[in-house]
Chains A and B, each alone.
Chain A
Amino acid sequence: MINIKLTVNGEVFEDTVTERMLLVDYLRDQLTLTGTHVGCTYEGVCGACTVHLDGEAVKSCLLLAAQADGHEITTVEGLANGGPLSALQQSFSDEHGLQCGFCTPGILMNMSEFLTLNPDPTDDEIRHGLIGNLCRCTGYVQIVKAVRNAARAMRETS
């Protein structure tokens, strides 16, 4: 067992975990933050488990919880953190950027970092940014539109 101390959605957690525990399992099972999803059998190809590690989008099924010791994690629960929806979340709601919603947490976490690096993306850039997130329902058209509109809304308010 190993002691870890990390910040998740702004709150500091100190825990004891097994060395082999995956970060995604720590978030879901130990912290009951079940917004982070598991979409593949952890091969690291679906992106549903995407969270921010120190602000960067990463797949939490490809990390040990122990690797996150000392770091800052943000999960989809941290985007609104109990307050109003973020502009990106609101845009997914407005544009029907989801159907079953299983892929949505990972897409929101990936695109929220993407938009900080590229605040005015073309549709091609959005699509290229989405490669690591599989959606079995939507066909991506509304997802791309939601990201594009969120980018505009964020530029207008900044």
Chain B
Amino acid sequence: MYPALIEEYVRPQSVADALAAIARYEAGDAIFLAGGQSAMQAMKSRMLRPQCVVDLQAISELKGIVSDASGVRIGAMTRYVEIAASAELQGGFAALGDAARRVGDRQVRNRGTIGGSVCWNYAASCTPAVVLGLQGQLRLTSGDGASRSVAADDFFLGPLETARNDDEILLSVEWPLFVERSGSAYAKWGLVTDALPVIGVCVRVSLDADGRCESARVVLSGLANGATHVAAGDSLLLGCDGDADAIEAALKRIAQDTDTHSDMSADADYRRQLIVSIGRDVTATAFRRARGEA
């Protein structure tokens, strides 16, 4: 298996040059290539048949994690291996590291990027669920120089669909606000260790001064519709102080009310069971992190 004929390979040094390269082709005939851990498979199976490949590897402005008082910004070309090792992604951002450390295998983590993962938005994937759980902002720019910021809730439109236009490049995933006393976590279960999620759970909580949950987000991965925000789950955790019984009860309700599906990996009931068993640990970890405990 190898890709269909590619007419042009370019390696721009800047975002402006990458956008200029894409603009020379009809929409969809030129594609951006990040780590290639999804795009190469898709090109070899001929699901993607680009005439032009615009390789983003040399664009340094797309790389790196910046964390300061005004929030966190992760460049689109930042790789899993860097997110996994980042000491800056603590507390409310810790779920990003949880996911990155468990994507695929070492070789995939050495290449795959946060930008490629969210732009691909595979149904059974980890990073889209975490970015949705942590309410990231996706910063996009296009050839006319205009840049826009799209909330994760509006960006992920279902499996392999996002709000990104073909001629737009994702610059970064950003969090403009730093929320005190917040914690997050992500975990998944797959058919083999670190495989694609049959079910994954991302939970983020923020606590008030008395340690009670004042805001929460519950997002599931591995459902037929891809990363899914369970808004009812958010309210079930409100007021909770991290008590194990309360968490268990909330997770059972979430599992009961979730429209899970059956496929060759797991049936619908098993997926519900996974939501509870993974979710209780993830939620407890998110509370611990919000309290500043390890």
Binds B, one of A15-23, A77-85, A135-143, A145-153: A15-23
Q: Tell whether, in the assembled complex, residue A19 and residue B107 are in contact, meaning their CB atoms are under 8 Å apart.
A: no
Chain A residue contacts of B194, Cβ below 8 A: 128, 131
> How far apart are B54's CB and chain A's nearest CB, in angstroms?
12
Question: How many angstroms from the CA of A47 to the CA of B194 in the assembled complex?
Answer: 15
| Structural contact, B9 and A66, CB atoms closer than 8 A | yes
- The number of residue pairs between A and B whose CB atoms lie closer than 8 Å in the complex comes to 87
In the assembled complex, A67 has its CB within 8 A of some CB on chain B: yes
Cβ contact within 8 Å between A21 and B107: no
How big is chain A's contact interface, by range? 20 to 34
Shortest CB-to-CB span from A46 to chain B, Å, is 10
Stretch at the interface among B34-42, B180-188, B202-210, B248-256: B34-42
Is A89's CB within 8 Å of the partner chain B? no
Does A114 touch B at the CB level, under 8 Å?
Answer: yes
Determine if A64 and B37 form an interchain contact, defined as CB atoms under 8 angstroms apart: no
Neighbouring B residues of A44 by C-beta, 8 Å: 37, 40-41, 108
Closest residue of A by beta carbon distance from B111: A58
Confirm or deny: B6 has a beta carbon within 8 angstroms of a beta carbon on chain A: yes
A129 to B107, CA, bound (A): 9
Query: Among the listed B40, B104, B106, which residue makes an inter-chain contact with A110, where contact means beta carbons less than 8 Å apart?
Result: B106
Assembled-state Cα–Cα distance A44/B4 (Å): 17
Taking a contact as CB atoms under 8 Å apart, the answer to whether B2 and A42 are in contact is yes
Q: Which residue of A lies closest to B5 (CB)?
A: A20
Complex Cα distance, B237 from A59, in Å, reads 42
- A50 x B107 contact (CB < 8 A): yes
Nearest B residue (CB) for A66:
B9
CB contacts (< 8 Å) of A22 on chain B: these are: 2-3
Which residues, 190 to 210 on B, are CB-close (under 8 Å) to A?
A: 192-194
Asked whether A103 is an interface residue with its Cβ less than 8 Å from the other chain, the reply is no
Interface residues of A in 1-32 (CB under 8 A from B): 2, 18-22, 25
B68 in the interface (beta carbon within 8 A): no
Question: Can you list 28 A-B contacts with CB-CB less than 8 angstroms, sorted by A residue number?
Answer: A2-B9, A20-B2, A20-B6, A21-B2, A22-B3, A41-B1, A42-B41, A43-B41, A43-B44, A47-B105, A53-B110, A57-B106, A57-B107, A57-B110, A59-B107, A59-B108, A62-B36, A62-B41, A63-B36, A64-B3, A64-B6, A67-B36, A67-B55, A110-B107, A128-B193, A131-B106, A132-B106, A132-B107
Residues of A within 8 A of B (CB): 2, 18-22, 25, 41-44, 47, 50, 53, 56-59, 61-64, 66-67, 69, 110, 113-114, 128-129, 131-133
